[in-house]
Amino acid sequence: MVKRFQGYKLGAAEVRGDSMDPSLQNGDTVFFAEKMISGNGIYALSIDEEVYVKRLEFDPFEGTIRVISDNSKYDPKLLPADTDRIRILGKIIGRLLVYW
């Protein structure tokens, strides 16, 4: 285990689609530290019970979370931070690269 992630339960998710291009590709496996929420970044999250890997920007002054696809052909979504629609599973800490 990588020392700086000791104490965190780690999870994995498969990236589906092109919404996070060029940062993440369709089929990439990403790893996340469960329940780690530490500022803006890429997270595994559930919106309306559907799991996504997206970039999140938190605005504590407005009480909102901006849900962003890195691929510019997809528009960002703005959600209230206190909504029941969104559940942050954990912050993405790495991805698995397979060369074959």
Q: Using one digit for the tens of pLDDT, what is the confidence trace for 1-27?
A: 566 677 778 899 999 999 999 999 999
Q: Which domain holds residue 84?
A: 3-96
Q: What gap in Å lies between CA 91 and CA 44, rounded to an integer? A: 6
Number of domains in the chain: 1
Q: What pLDDT was estimated at residue 98?
A: 74
Q: What gap in Å lies between CA 31 and CA 47, rounded to an integer? A: 19
Judge whether 46 and 53 are in contact, CB under 8 Å.
no
CATH code, domain with 71: 2.10.109.10
Q: What gap in Å lies between CA 57 and CA 67, rounded to an integer? A: 7
Q: What pLDDT was estimated at residue 36?
A: 83
Q: What is the mean pLDDT of residues 54-79?
A: 96
Look up the pTM and report it: 0.88
